[in-house]
Amino acid sequence: MSLIKSISGIRGTIGGKPGDNLTPIDTVKFAAAYGTWLKNTSEDKKLTVVVGRDARISGKMVQDLTMNTLTGLGINVIDIDLSTTPTVEVAVPLEKADGGIILTASHNPKQWNALKLLNNKGEFLNGADGAKILELVEADNFNFADVDSLGAITRKEGYIDKHIEEVLKLKLVDAEKIKKANFKVVVDAVNSTGGIAIPALLKKFGVEVIELYCEPNGHFPHNPEPLKEHLTDISNLVKKEKADLGIVVDPDVDRLAIVDENGEMFGEEYTLVACADYVLSKTPGNTVSNLSSSRALSDVTKKHGGSYKASAVGEVNVVQLMKKENAVIGGEGNGGIIYPDAHYGRDSLVGVGLFLTHLAEKNISVSALRKEYPAYFMSKNKIQLTPEIDVDNILKKMEEKYSKEQISTVDGVKIDFPENWVHLRKSNTEPIIRIYTEAKSQEKADQLAENMIKEIKAVIA
């Protein structure tokens, strides 16, 4: 079974049987549920939805099904076709649309696709609205428009260029400083729409660009999650070309990873840390990331006199807490930069603009910049359980055992020790507990994880 329904959308593998995979029938039902929810929550007689997609092989099929389902409900569609997740988020308010749908399975392999849903602000739906859409999917009771009330599809070209212009307008993105730095950059866009967006942005900055896997054909040349073990090609090319850095994005361009001049990973967690350091140096304030993100962001925030808060895992949770705390920057440790002056969504184009301005202003190498930040190391593990085990009870016992430490139960159980932390989260889709740890060496992070796994097994026994 490879169909996952959640408050943020529907995700699954292409082909197979309805209800088990992301088939045309499942796509139509989910698009119909979203369109019906929009109609139920809006007083407008004629609604408009922006639809864009990444370069997945299945993208055109899923897009046609989605758009024609919406027009069948009497909703107008603005088709921006090949796009990025943040581009669609930017397009919704620019078009004064009532919502948006992004067709992308993010970092999942090519056989996956998904429908990600936005509100009229171009932001992901909150839990309550997502739950209502899931109810509509289960009810399977839709009222389509008559022939005189069908919606229309309008194709609009050039939205990635408009997105780039929005990035260039940002006060803290200094195109002139970047141009004077004469950067040479290798780009790995995993043959998706980042191959359109990132080189185009860099050329606006006057950067010399070397493209690697930038043809948006959906044939991913390696695992599309931007982790070290998947990025040997760009690491080698950065060294071969004597480039200043490498830039890596996932298929929908909301995660940004940096490779230094030596071909070493800057660290996904540190993309946000470096951008936050720069933003806080110009506009002091608060920051937010999720509970599984590095402590380094808290350290940098405190250095600039700000306050740091952690949300539950999930972009919508980060955004809600950022608004509450009036954060000047935030995001997730997976390379997701959320900069409110642009919009409330993870955006690699914004991240590139902020990072390169910071690097140009510092006038140092990427490896030297990395050394300016606290060194933390993470370990990510999971423990497989059987369905009858009460995961909540296990987490409660771990909370009680470490009650003298700093504890957060916003999302699972996070235990903050003076020198390290552990975050225990249960999966919503399978009987496992995810175990994230961070410490000042990889050995200590791994050891902390091993100890926690032993303790959980002891509780189960």
| Residues acting as catalytic residues | 106
Residue 378, CA distances (Å) to 61, 108, 227, 310, 447 in order: 39, 22, 13, 17, 11
Q: Which helix (H) or strand (E) holds 58?
A: none
- Give strand pairing partners of 248: 188, 257
Nearest to 405 by CA among 448, 441, 444, 374: 448
CA-based max dimension of the chain? 67
Cα dihedral 10, 14, 17, 18, rounded to 10, equals 30
Beta strand segments in 42-177, E: 48-53, 76-82, 99-103, 112-118, 153-155
Collapse the DSSP code of 224 into the 3-class scheme (helix H, G, I; strand E, B; otherwise coil) and give the result: coil
The dihedrals phi and psi of 304, each to the nearest 5 degrees, come to -95, 10
Residues counted in the chain: 461
- What is the spatial distance between Cα 378 and Cα 381, in angstroms, rounded to a whole number? 10
Nearest to 209 by CA among 165, 162, 246: 246
